[in-house]
Structure 1
Amino acid sequence: MQKTIKQTASCTGIGITGQTDSTVIFHPAPPDTGIVFIREDLPGKPEVPCRPDYARVEARWTSLVNNDIRIEHTEHLLAAIAGLGLDNLKVSVSSPFIPVVSSFSSRGFVQTLLQAGLVLQDRPKRCFHVKEPVCIINPFFHQEKRYDRFLLALPAPELTLTYLLDYPGKEIPTQLAQFSFDNSFDFASELATARSYITESEYETVFKLIGKSIEDCLILAKGPVDLQWDNEPARHKVLDLLGDIHTMGRPVKGHFIGIRTGHKDNNQLCQKLQMQIKEVL
Structure 2
Amino acid sequence: MNDKQHTIKAPVTVSGIGLHTGVESNMTFKPAPVNHGYKFQRIDLPEQPIVEADVDNVVDLSRGTTIEKNGARVNTVEHTLAALVGLQIDNVLIELDGPEPPIMDGSSVDFVNALLSVGLEEQNAHRNYFEITKGVSYKDEKRGVEIAALPLDDYRLTVMVDYNSPVLGSQHASLTNINQFEEQIASCRTFVFLHELEALYKQNLIKGGDLDNAIVIVDRVVEDGELTYLADLLGKKKVEVKAEGILNNTKLRYKNEPARHKLLDMLGDLALIGRPIKGQILAARPGHAANIAFARKVKKMIQEASVKAIPTYDPKKPPIMDINQIAAILPHRYPFLLIDKIINLDATSVVGVKNVTMNEPFFTGHFPENPVMPGVIQIEAMAQTGGILVLSTVDNPDDYWSYLLGIDRCRFKRKVLPGDTIIFKCELLAPIKRGIAKMFGQAFVAGQLVMEAEMSAMIVKKDA
TM superposition score normalised by structure 1: 0.92
List per-residue Cα deviations over 1:149-197 (Å, max 9, x = no partner).
Answer: 1111222111111011111344521111111234xx3321110000111
Which residue does 1:70 correspond to in 2? Answer: 73
1:268 Cα deviation after fit = 0.2
Distance 2:75 2:117 in 1: 24
Secondary structure of the 2:157 match is: strand
Query: 2:16 maps to what in 1?
Result: 13
CA-to-partner distance for each residue in 1:36-68, whole Å, 9 max, x for gaps? Answer: 111101111111112221123331100122122
SS across alignment from 2:95: strand
Aligned mate of 1:25, from 28, 35, 43 = 28
Query: Counterpart of 1:81?
Result: 84
In structure 2, the residue corresponding to 1:201 is in which secondary structure?
A: helix
Residue 165 (1) aligns with residue 168 (2): no
**Do the aligned residues in 2 keep the contact of 1:56 with 1:267 (CA within 8 Å)?**
no
Amino acid at match of 1:156: L
Aligned to 2:404: none
Report the Cα distance in structure 2 between the residues aligned to 1:43 and 1:139, rounded to whole angstroms.
44
Name the CA distance, whole Å, in 2 between partners of 1:131 and 1:71: 33
Q: What is residue 181 of structure 1 aligned with on the other side?
A: 177
Counterpart check, 1:38 vs 2:41: yes
Moved more, 104-113 or 194-203: 194-203
Q: Distance in 1 between matches of 2:77 and 2:177?
A: 20
Q: Distance in 2 between matches of 1:28 and 1:20?
A: 25
2:194 paired residue number: 200
Residue 116 to residue 49, structure 1, CA distance change in 2 (3 Å): same
Give 3-state SS (helix, strand or coil) of 1:97's partner. Answer: coil
Structure 1 residue 69: deviation in Å?
A: 1.6
* Aligned partner of residue 210 in structure 1, secondary structure: coil
- For residue 126 of structure 2, give the secondary structure of its aligned residue in structure 1: coil
* Alignment correspondent of 2:265: 240
Quickly say closer, same or farther: Cα 1:196–1:134, change in 2 above 3 A: same
Pick from 280, 286, 290: which aligns with 1:255?
Answer: 280
Question: Quick check: 1:57–1:267 contact (8 Å CA) kept in 2?
Answer: no
Q: Which has the higher contact order (CA 8 A, sep 6+)?
A: 1
Tell whether 2:115 aligns with 1:98. Answer: no
What is aligned with 1:144?
A: none
CA deviation digits over 1:100-127, x for unaligned, max 9? 112x100111011011211111111111
Cα offset, 1:270, TM superposition: 0.6
Q: Distance in 1 between matches of 2:152 and 2:19?
A: 35
Where 2:210 maps in the other structure, the secondary structure is: helix
Change (3 A) 1:96 1:211: closer
Rounded to whole Å, the distance in 1 between the matches of 2:282 and 2:304 is: 23
The 8 Å contact of residues 11 and 118 in structure 2, kept in 1 or not, is answered as: yes
Q: Aligned to 1:236, what secondary structure does the other structure show? A: helix
Task: Supply the distance in 1 between the matched residues of 2:156 and 2:60 (Cα, whole angstroms).
Answer: 23
> Considering only CA atoms, is the larger Rg found in Structure 1 or Structure 2?
2
Do the aligned residues in 1 keep the contact of 2:138 with 2:148 (CA within 8 Å)? yes
CA distance in 2, matches of 1:229, 1:267: 26
TM-score (normalised: structure 2): 0.57
AA aligned to 2:8 is: I
> Which letter does structure 1 place at the counterpart of 2:158?
T
Query: Structure 2: any 5+ residue segments left out of the alignment?
Result: 219-243, 307-464
* Number of the residue aligned with 2:402: none
Q: What's the offset of the Cα at 1:201?
A: 1.7
Whether contact under 8 Å (2:41, 2:49) holds in the other structure is yes
Give the equivalent residue in structure 1 for 2:322.
none
Taking only aligned residues, the RMSD between alpha carbons, in angstroms, comes to 1.5
Give 1:265's aligned residue: 290
Deviation of the 1:18 alpha carbon: 4.7
Matches within 5 A, 1:133-148: 133-140=135-142, 148=144
Question: 2:147 pairs with 146, 151, 167, which one?
Answer: 151
Moved over 6 A (4+): none
The alpha-carbon distance between structure 1 residues 169 and 139, as it changes in their structure 2 partners (threshold 3 A), is farther
Q: 1:116 to 1:233 in 2, by over 3 A?
A: same
Structure 1, unmatched stretches of 5+, are 141-146
1:219 to 216, 233, 252: 216
Deviates more, 1:108-117 or 1:46-55: 46-55
Read off the aligned partner of 1:275 and give its amino acid letter.
K
Q: Aligned residue for 2:241?
A: none
Deviation at 1:139, TM superposition (A): 3.2
Select 2:130's aligned residue among 128, 131, 135.
Answer: 128
The residue that corresponds to 2:415 in the other structure is none
By how many angstroms is 1:225 displaced? 4.7
8 Å CA contact retained: 1:191, 1:236? yes
Aligned residues: 272
Secondary structure at 1:211 match in 2? coil
Amino acid at match of 2:254: W
Query: Does the 8 A contact of 1:61 with 1:74 survive in 2?
Result: yes
Quick check: 78-87 or 197-206, which moved more?
Answer: 197-206
